[in-house]
């Protein structure tokens, strides 16, 4: 069990929680995640570790469905039943001069520790931060402290450029060159960013978020096809070079339980009443 010692709302759908997890914090490296089970009926869901202190880890949770909303219901002093990690591999920080980073929505959370690592190596960072609207943007101030250039895009134009991150990237790629790119966000976004960057001979690292259960390589739920090879995101990733990822297959795998997830959300509505 792990106690929540701090919690704040980053926006109306996203919470930041800090929980006691000394052992996880000790061995943690940027890029790694934990698997969390809120209570004995809950799913096991993966969440990236955004920050650590000696005794705690910080997670940022976007409440998109039943399990994430259940975590949202927990408050300071409550225990999270199960937290296991740190899982997955540390990211590889490329030895380069200038990185183009792209975050979509809650993807900003897993991107933060990566960019922090790039920043510490003195690498120039250009960040494109995208969200549905102004009120969905997270970590803007934290990024300002470590990035050299930040461009914001919102779907509705409530802040920054009106449009998708790819609109902004197109403009940037016409004017500048970058040594490497990182994109983290919804699968569709990563798919389009990778395709666009490829046209400019720019390789893109992505952090993949398939459905997971154990996170230890045991079940095979998290498999992704890259080139013609199968990889398990939990033990081979979650970060991969995105150039040859079969995003369409992964999107289908992610949506496989859509109807069932809907049933779960109905349950939540009933419980809330």
Chain contacts with ligand FES (rule: CB under 6 A): 212-215, 217-222, 232, 234
Q: Of 26, 207, 215, whose CA–CA distance to 115 is shortest?
A: 207
For residue 117 the two structure tokens come to: 């690592």
Q: Which is nearer to ligand FES, 130 or 210 (CB)?
A: 210
Q: What is the dihedral of CA 73, 75, 79, 83, to 10 degrees?
A: 70
Q: Which is nearer to ligand FES, 15 or 43 (CB)?
A: 43
Residue 29 CB, nearest distance to another protein (Å)?
Answer: 10
Residue 233 CB, nearest distance to ligand FES (Å)?
Answer: 6
Q: Which is nearer to ligand FES, 128 or 206 (CB)?
A: 206
Pairing of strands 98-104, 124-131: parallel
Q: Which is nearer to another protein, 43 or 205 (CB)?
A: 43
110 binds, among ligand FES, ligand FAD, another protein, none (CB under 5 to 8 A by kind): ligand FAD
Q: Is the peptide bond before 250 cis (omega within 30 degrees of 0)?
A: no
Contact assessment for residue 24 and residue 33, using Cβ atoms and an 8 Å cutoff:
no
Say how far apart CA 135 and CA 239 lie, in whole Å: 28
Residue 28 CB, nearest distance to ligand FES (Å)?
Answer: 19
CA angle 235, 260, 2 (to 5 degrees): 50
Q: Give the three-class secondary structure for 180.
A: strand
**For residue 111, which phi and psi values (nearest 5 degrees)?**
-70, -35
Residue 10 CB, nearest distance to another protein (Å)?
Answer: 25
Residue 253 CB, nearest distance to another protein (Å)?
Answer: 5
Question: Which positions lie near another protein, rule CB under 8 A?
Answer: 23-24, 27, 37, 41-44, 66-67, 81-87, 213-214, 216-221, 223-225, 230, 235, 246, 248-249, 251-253, 256-257, 260-261, 263-264, 267
Q: Which is nearer to ligand FES, 35 or 74 (CB)?
A: 35
62 binds, among another protein, ligand FES, ligand FAD, none (CB under 5 to 8 A by kind): ligand FAD
Q: Which is nearer to another protein, 96 or 266 (CB)?
A: 266
Q: Of 74, 49, 75, 47, whose CA–CA distance to 61 is shortest?
A: 47
Question: Which positions lie near ligand FAD, rule CB under 6 A?
Answer: 33, 43, 45-48, 60-62, 64-68, 106, 109-110, 209-212, 238, 254-255, 261
Residue 38 CB, nearest distance to another protein (Å)?
Answer: 10
- Most distant pair of Cα atoms in the chain: their distance: 54
Q: Which is nearer to ligand FAD, 148 or 260 (CB)?
A: 260
Number of other residues whose CB lies within 10 A of the CB of residue 65: 17
263 binds, among ligand FAD, another protein, ligand FES, none (CB under 5 to 8 A by kind): another protein
Residue 220 CB, nearest distance to ligand FES (Å)?
Answer: 5
As a whole number of Å, the end-to-end CA separation of the chain is 28
Q: Of 65, 67, 89, whose CA–CA distance to 80 is shortest?
A: 67
């Amino acid at each position: 069990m792990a106690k929540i010692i701090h919690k704040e709302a980053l926006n109306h759908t996203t919470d930041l929680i800090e929980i006691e997890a000394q052992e996880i914090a000790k061995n943690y490296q940027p890029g790694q995640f934990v698997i969390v089970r809120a209570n004995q009926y809950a799913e096991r869901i993966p969440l990236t570790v955004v920050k650590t202190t000696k005794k705690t880890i910080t997670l940022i949770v976007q409440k998109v469905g039943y399990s994430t909303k259940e975590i949202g219901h927990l408050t300071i002093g409550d225990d999270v039943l199960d937290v296991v990690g740190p899982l997955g591999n540390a990211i590889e920080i490329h030895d380069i001069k200038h990185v183009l980073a792209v975050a979509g929505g809650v993807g900003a959370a897993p991107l933060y520790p990566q960019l922090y690592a790039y920043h510490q190596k003195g690498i120039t960072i250009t960040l494109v931060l995208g969200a549905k609207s102004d009120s969905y943007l997270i970590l803007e101030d934290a990024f300002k402290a470590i990035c050299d250039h930040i461009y914001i895009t919102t779907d509705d134009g409530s802040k920054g450029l009106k449009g998708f991150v790819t609109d902004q990237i197109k403009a940037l790629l016409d004017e500048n060159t970058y040594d490497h790119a990182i994109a983290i966000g919804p699968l569709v976004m990563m798919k389009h960013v990778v395709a666009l960057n490829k046209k400019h001979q720019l390789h893109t690292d992505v952090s993949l978020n398939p459905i997971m259960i154990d996170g230890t390589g045991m079940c095979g739920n998290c498999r992704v096809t890259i080139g013609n090879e199968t990889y398990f995101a939990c033990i081979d990733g979650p970060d991969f070079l995105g150039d040859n990822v079969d995003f369409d297959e992964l999107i289908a795998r992610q949506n496989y339980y859509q109807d069932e997830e809907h049933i779960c959300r109905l349950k939540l509505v009933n419980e809330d009443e």
